């Protein structure tokens, strides 16, 4: 629901509420309260990157399973096909990963780029790791590398003006397409 649609029980539009207006539009997402109320301790206790490999590929959004690392879709993608490459082992930072883990993360990242390029015809990539909460890591206790496909036309008016991302494909459909295109070992 947008800010314009949000209102009190008396039908007063939110633009009439007390406070100083700012330049931001609001996208009301009450379903996200589960994450807010759970807090950081619950996230650490139930690490999504430790839980995913125990699920089916479809339920865990897993595209490929390697020996010491795996590839899955980001549950909150910046663009369609936004992948994460994670070691199975629960380590927080890149310097804690073993040589085998860093090698496989690098190889899976290269393969992810090739698969994304062939399937989605993207024009480029953002690749990176946010190490620690202060650096922007949403899950700061489990190392993960982002592989975000980019297109020359992906910065339309939504994120620029409305601060909203439009994602043209459902996560399950993206996972099936990428997994099917992933080369056999």
Report the length, in residues, of the chain.
185
Residue 31 annotated to the active site = no
User: Which residues make beta-bridge pairs with 27?
Assistant: 2
Q: What is the SS3 assignment for 64-75?
A: EECCCEEEEECC
Question: Cα separation of 41 and 94, whole Å?
Answer: 22
Residue 123, token pair as written in the block:
């024009």
Task: Determine phi and psi for 170, rounding to 5 degrees.
Answer: -75, 150
Beta-sheet strand order (sheet of 145-150): 62-65, 69-73, 83-87, 145-150, 124-128
* Active-site residue (options: 64, 82, 142, 144): 144
User: Judging by beta carbons within 10 Å of its beta carbon (0-12, 13-18, 19+), is residue 113 exposed, middle or buried?
Assistant: middle
Task: Just list the catalytic residues.
Answer: 144
């Amino acid at each position: 629901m947008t800010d314009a649609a949000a209102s009190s029980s008396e039908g007063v539009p939110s633009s009439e509420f007390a406070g100083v207006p700012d330049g931001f539009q609001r996208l009301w997402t009450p379903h996200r309260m589960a994450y807010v109320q759970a807090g950081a301790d619950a996230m650490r206790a139930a690490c999504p990157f430790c839980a995913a490999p125990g699920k089916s590929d479809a339920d865990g959004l897993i595209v490929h399973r390697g020996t010491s690392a795996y590839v899955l879709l980001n549950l909150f993608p910046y663009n369609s096909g936004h992948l994460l490459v994670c070691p199975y082992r629960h380590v927080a930072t890149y310097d804690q990963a073993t040589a085998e883990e860093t090698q496989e993360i690098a190889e899976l990242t290269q393969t992810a780029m090739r698969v994304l390029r062939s399937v989605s015809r993207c024009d480029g990539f953002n690749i990176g790791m946010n190490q620690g909460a202060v650096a922007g890591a949403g899950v700061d206790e489990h190392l993960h590398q982002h592989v975000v496909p980019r297109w020359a036309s992906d910065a339309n008016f939504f994120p620029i003006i409305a601060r909203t991302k439009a994602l043209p494909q459902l996560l399950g459909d993206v996972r099936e397409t990428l997994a099917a295109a992933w080369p056999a070992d």
